[in-house]
Chains A and B, each alone.
Chain A
Amino acid sequence: MGHMTRIDKKPDGGRTGHAVEVRGLVKQYGGPQGTRALDGVDLDVREGTVLGVLGPNGAGKTTLVRILSTLVQPDAGTARVAGYDVLRQPRQLRRVIGLTGQYASVDEKLSGRENLYMIGRLLDLSRKESRRRADELLERFSLTEAARKPAAQYSGGMRRRLDLAASMIGRPAVLYLDEPTTGLDPRTRNEVWDEVRSMVAEGATVLLTTQYMEEAEQLASELTVIDRGRIIAGGGVDELKAKVGGRTLQIRPTDPADLPAMARAVTETGLDGLSGAQAVPEEGLLYVPILSDEQLTAVIGLLGERGLSIAHIGTHLPSLDEVFLAITGQKTASVSDTAPEEIAA
């Protein structure tokens, strides 16, 4: 029975419409001379939406999630989840959250089914209900066949899916996904993304941390960019993309002499964003920042109409480094070579 706050209830009474509210959050590790993992972070997650927290390794993403899930106490600032204060009401808060970390938090010696059953019991579901819910989620996350195998024998993707299933047992109102696809291959990554999308469709509020621009784009409606414990940019995904440049189209004309004509043709359309088109004669390439697939189609159609022949075309998503470059005008200090290189669309 409903020990958990179901997602269809609005724990906050709809007062702010924010499932997560963070103000001036500070966390310092290793004494006064130590590093500031979080240095005055403010952020809000609107109910029923996905906020992507984008940042390189060591930016403070995990610390943020650990504070919001009561694993770590902040040094200053406030954080509320579903209206509950992390410091003053941790017990109530734990009833409404689910956490899937970078490292699968399941018991490896237990089977997938045993893991989910145990969590059901810990969430005060009856034996019968725990079994039912475990089977339901195993089915949904395509783990039924492996249900009786110990989790230690699962592949990385299966383990991550089991972890997600475990977080979903109590139908949490707020779900934290801390780098849910780090270390997964592209196919498995897509599977996890599909699951996250269906959770959101059911009304869960999600705080997603990621190092991948593409992941944030795929899942989040709003983005917060964090670096060295500070928020350095935020807003809607499109807004940020416009700021960063979104995808870039690379066009190679059959005849390099056509480059200037191509550049003119594209900039003259007056379409939003396309004015940034730039010809780079040394590479024989035309770079066109685009904001949508429609723009891509429009550009190609236009060049066709003008009889400008294209030898090769490619798109390029900005890597995290490029996002940072665009926002701050400088490279990140942290290593971010784990971000995927160019992802061809």
Chain B
Amino acid sequence: MSTTTPPSTPFTPAAAPERTPAPGPGPGGGADPASVGEGRIGLRSNLRHIGALVRRNALQIKADPESMFDVLLMPIIFTLLFVYVFGGSVGQSLGGSREDYVNYVVPGLMAMMGMNISMAVGTGMNDDFRKGVMDRFRTMPIARSSVLIAKIVVEIGRMLVATAILLGMGFLLGMEIKTSVAELFGAVGLSVAFGASLMWVFILLGLTMKTAQAVQGVAMLVLMPLQFGSSIFAPPTTMPGWLQTFTDYNPLSNLADAARNMINGGPVAHSVWMTLAWAAGITLVTAPLAVGKFRKKS
């Protein structure tokens, strides 16, 4: 859009009894033409706004490098912990050694990492609302979703950094790509896609709950069973039947299996499709809810 001319209902001072709502150039004959049309944000403007807001989030990280600690340290600590605590025994039961467990657990950790990082979006969202700057954004002529999308773009960036460090740790501890680099990237892409869908869930939580601490509390309650009741850390074959049923339907198992088989070889079609279906489903349900909540939040 180039220039925005204000609605000027043609009038003569003598004959202007009732002001009709200013008709924008939008579709005529609609129920409420005034609310559509002119005020719409064009795609290019929208991308520009998202760009400016992504830059804001990036500058925040630059101003506060400590906010990257989780992304930098989590993959290192988790890999060391799981490989050296469980690696020996689980590796053995997998019919191999600690090195084999590295190849088992690192793709699983990729799935877990996405979840943990997306949780931070929720608490960040909640914090942001405590500050006046959100009021400013919401009184500006930008699509309200752009604030949320920018946040997600930045978090995906953080997730990629964490994944890179995780893979680096994995290679250091002896992980091998048994398929191809292309499939490795596929696995990364899949976990990012799933993580991004979870961000909407946490944004929704962040907008609904009163404090950042509450968001974190609830998130942990949901995350713990989902992460451990999955095939992330150990194969579910030795688990009791009811738990196996749970892990079968747990999307994190699908994601972990998909990533694992994309790196180690094995059937991937089912788990990849299941993961994508979960990601799409979660986004379709929670994204509109989150944007709606954001719009109405006062």
Q: How far is the CA of A66 from the CA of B138 in the complex (A)?
A: 11
A121 touching B51, Cβ below 8 Å: yes
Q: Distance in Å from the Cβ of A158 to the closest Cβ of chain B?
A: 15
| Chain B residue contacts of A4, Cβ below 8 A | 4
| Chain A residue contacts of B133, Cβ below 8 A | 105-108
Count of chain A residues with Cβ under 8 Å from any Cβ of B? 49
| Chain B residue contacts of A310, Cβ below 8 A | none
Q: How far is the CA of A73 from the CA of B52 in the complex (A)?
A: 28
A101 touching B135, Cβ below 8 Å: yes
Nearest-CB residue, chain B, relative to A82? B6
- Contacts beyond the supplied A83-B6, A108-B131: 15 A-B pairs with Cβ under 8 Å: A3-B2, A9-B6, A11-B7, A12-B6, A15-B16, A89-B34, A91-B40, A91-B141, A95-B39, A99-B135, A109-B59, A110-B63, A118-B56, A121-B55, A150-B63
Question: Which residues of chain A have a CB within 8 Å of any CB of chain B?
Answer: 1-5, 9, 11-13, 15, 66, 69-73, 82-85, 88-92, 94-97, 99, 101, 103-110, 114, 118-119, 121-124, 150, 163, 166
Is B48 at the interface (CB under 8 A from chain A)? yes
| Chain B residue contacts of A118, Cβ below 8 A | 52-53, 55-56
Q: Distance in Å from the Cβ of A11 to the closest Cβ of chain B?
A: 4
Is B22 at the interface (CB under 8 A from chain A)? yes
B136 touching A70, Cβ below 8 Å: no
Assess A84 versus B7: contact at CB under 8 Å? Given A1-B2, A89-B22, A107-B60.
yes
B7 touching A72, Cβ below 8 Å: no
Nearest-CB residue, chain A, relative to B34? A88
Q: Chain A binding site: helix, strand, loop or mixed by DSSP?
A: loop
List 19 A–B pairs whose Cβ atoms lie within 8 Å, in order of A's numbering. Answer: A3-B3, A11-B7, A66-B298, A71-B135, A71-B139, A88-B21, A88-B34, A88-B35, A91-B39, A92-B39, A99-B139, A106-B132, A110-B63, A118-B52, A119-B136, A121-B49, A122-B140, A122-B142, A163-B132
B32 touching A166, Cβ below 8 Å: no
Q: Distance in Å from the Cβ of A92 to the closest Cβ of chain B?
A: 4
Assess A89 versus B35: contact at CB under 8 Å? Given A70-B138, A118-B56, A122-B142.
yes
Q: Distance in Å from the Cβ of A167 to the closest Cβ of chain B?
A: 8
Q: Chain B binding site: helix, strand, loop or mixed by DSSP?
A: loop
B9 touching A13, Cβ below 8 Å: yes
Is B220 at the interface (CB under 8 A from chain A)? no
Q: Distance in Å from the Cβ of B1 to the closest Cβ of chain A?
A: 8
Is B242 at the interface (CB under 8 A from chain A)? no
Against A, the Cβ 8 Å flags (1 = close, 0 = not) of B123-148 are: 00000000111111111111000000
Within 8 A of A (CB), among B14-49: 16, 19, 21-22, 24, 32, 34-35, 38-41, 45, 48-49
Is B11 at the interface (CB under 8 A from chain A)? yes
Q: How far is the CA of A13 from the CA of B13 in the complex (A)?
A: 11
B135 touching A123, Cβ below 8 Å: no
Nearest-CB residue, chain B, relative to A96? B6
A106 touching B136, Cβ below 8 Å: yes
| Chain B residue contacts of A72, Cβ below 8 A | 298
Q: How far is the CA of A254 from the CA of B240 in the complex (A)?
A: 100
Assess A124 versus B48: contact at CB under 8 Å? Given A71-B139, A88-B21.
yes
